[in-house]
Chains A and B, each alone.
Chain A
Amino acid sequence: MRGAGTAALLALSAAAVALARPALAPEALAAGRIRDPAWLPSGKLLRLASFGQRLLLADLYWLKTVAYMGEPFLAPGRGLDALHPLGEIVTDLDPRYGYAYQVVGSNLSGLAHRVSESDRILEKGVRNVPDRWTLPFLLAFNKFFYEGDFAGAAAWARRAAEVGKRPQLALLAANLALVANTEDQYQASISFLELSLQQAETLELREQLEQRMVKVRTYQVLSRVERAIEAFRARNLRPPLVLEELVWSGLLPRIPADPSGGTIEYDPWAGSVRSSALGPRDPLRVTQ
């Protein structure tokens, strides 16, 4: 009799679990999700309350940060408001966590478009982990691409070259300092993007950088054609009727291909060119 009672209790309990579990699936998915960054604890307080386990706590918050960075791809529309606070917590708990500065800094500017927060966490990283060259390099990237501060970019690239003992960065720093015309600017952008692609850790950031590379290459081509049109106009006191005239007059070796996969379209009445895929050339500075 006792055995039958136990079996009945077991069956009833198992049935309750089996029924309740699917019903609780939304709650299980939402568990631990950050709703309001303002409710995140202070890293300095957590450090005091860590009872000697600050490295372990830093790792736990780092895992949370990694999951949080992936959330917008699972649920589009969700922002990355808590990325900077999470990065601050991880790096307050372990100020030597160089990789956290690097990944949070690059994703804050590249994915979240929060450049000032990215600068803040990267500058904190440069202070605490001065021998990690990727941090000044990312700062140089931010200055160049998002803030249009070429002098600042050159200074940070120089620092990255010194710390990382990388001659190609020294060359980049020199080029940045000498940026004078549009062509140089695009060339420097492409060099920067190539180096950033080598450093990109997440697939999402890599895709963004690759898209940006296509955009910059397209704008570089459009700018080259625009300069040829200007030269043609100065020489002949009229715009070319077709782009081929630029080749015939020796201003272009050939009509360039559109790196974005479209074609280069020319409007002889306005004297302007555009890419059929990306439209007309925008200013280089990328803020969106």
Chain B
Amino acid sequence: MTRTLAIAANTVREALRERLLYNLVIFAVLLSAASLTVSQLTLGEQYRIIADVSTSSTQLFGILISVFVGVALVSREIDRRTAYAMLARPVSRADFILGKFIGLVATVGLNLVVMALASALVIFAYTRSATFLASGFFAAFGLMLAQFAVCVALAVLFASFSTPTLAVIFTLTLVGAGFVFSEIRPFWLASDRVQMKQLVHVLDFVLPNMGLLDAKEALTYGDPVSLRSFATRLAYGFGYAGVVVALAAQVFSRRDIR
């Protein structure tokens, strides 16, 4: 466990040196701040525009950071053979993958805190009240961490056996499919065709249901999210990510990296 945490700490240090990370975080923060101007273009309901732009920019840029930084850090270690020095020590390949995953999740978690703080400041600047914190704010941003963990896990899995470009394409495709699936799932379940329902049950295990990890609407409409619902969704997201990381560890253990 100590070895895994050491790799994780090293991954955080390495990730924080990535310029891409800062570019994306700064862009997300600027977009959140710009929502104050965009909201002036609408007729009423300025708050929802500010809340939607803030949460969406955090989510979009967080996913991009998770995928691109996740793929880059794992692929680079293998391409530059720096992973070899680590694996020559008494460190298992599973430790290496798990350490990378934990380090990357910690990094995107730090980014998430920065972007959530920026969003909170922007919303506070408009509402002049902190009541939004009591209604969905923590659930919306907290569950994003579970989304990012799923993205990081998929990025690590694909980066462990394919090229960086392909790994990015595969990860974004699966994450996108997870979002589409969460939208289409109720329609397929309501369908008269039995095959559709069977397909849903199969996809429930294959694809991440990203809609379950999305509580942006709670902030927009001030919906309360119960602790139980929040914890269950968080457990689902991290559980899914854990399964993918275990799969990545298996794949990487069998990979010939001479």
Binding site for B on A (CB under 8 A): 47-56, 58-59, 62-63, 66-67, 69, 96, 99, 103, 201-202
Contact = CB atoms under 8 A, between A and B. Distances in A.
Nearest to B182: A52
Find the residue from A48, A52, A54, A66 having the highest chain B CB count within 10 A.
A52
B184 interface: yes
A201 B184 CA distance: 35
Contacts of B117: none
Contacts of B59: 52-53
Nearest to A69: B43
Interface stretch (B12-20, B48-56, B103-111, B152-160): B48-56
B179 A51 contact: yes
B124 interface: no
B42 A48 contact: no
Contacts of B52: 55-56, 58-59
11 contacts: A48-B184, A51-B176, A52-B179, A55-B48, A56-B52, A56-B56, A59-B42, A59-B52, A63-B41, A63-B42, A201-B44
A205 to B, nearest CB: 11
Nearest to A55: B52
Given A59-B52, A96-B221, A53 B60 contact: yes
Find the residue from A48, A59, A99 having the highest chain B CB count within 10 A.
A59
Nearest to A66: B43
B108 to A, nearest CB: 16
Contacts of A58: 52
A48 B55 CA distance: 19
B48 A59 contact: yes
Contact of B210 (A47, A48, A52, A55): A52
B87 interface: no
B63 to A, nearest CB: 9
Interface in B29-70: 38, 41-45, 48-49, 52-53, 55-56, 59-60
